[in-house]
Amino acid sequence: MYEAVRIAHAPGGADFYRELGQQMGGLLAGERNWMANFANCAALLFEQMPDLNWAGFYLLEEGSGDLVVGPFQGKPACARIARGRGVCGTALAEERAVLVPDVHEFPGHIACDAASRSELVIPLRREGRVFGVLDLDSPLVGRFSDGDLAGLERLMVRLVSASDW
């Protein structure tokens, strides 16, 4: 049985993400179902990363091209986000990670939770195509760093490759 242990290293650094990756590996071991893996990953990130108020996934709906909320932890969220709208829709449209130190300075930011002040969105790729995003929100301005971005990009590659679709 998996048991989370509080990570002692400072968030954003290589040691933090190495340890977080070990814990994620324990959750993924022996499980290939994408829903189970994404749900547990959202819970792990929400539990282990300090100063988050939302952690979860938006997944591409093929017919509409919209992002639809998937497994997450936090307050109820926007159910649907159009390509190009807000931080998540921008990451989808531009197929790149978007780190926003202060969401009040991001044109078109979608405020699902008025307490959110910074956001990090990382595209998820399968067979070279973006099919969704990881979305992290924080009530602190400047919460996310380039180290967070790099560490989470590596973890998302691992999560996607460990999950059957």
pTM, entire model: 0.95
Task: Write out pLDDT tens, residues 88-134.
Answer: 999 999 999 999 999 999 988 887 788 899 999 999 999 999 999 99
Provide the β-strand partners of residue 98.
121
Q: How many CA atoms lie within 13 A of 65 on its CB side?
A: 8
pLDDT in tens, 78-96: 999 999 999 999 999 999 9
Walk me through the domains of the chain, giving residue ranges and CATH numbers. Answer: 14-161 (3.30.450.40)
Beta strands in 97-159 (DSSP E): 98-100, 118-126, 129-138
41 three-state secondary structure: helix
Beta bridge partners of 164: 33
Rounded distance between C-alpha atoms, residue 119 and residue 101, angstroms: 7
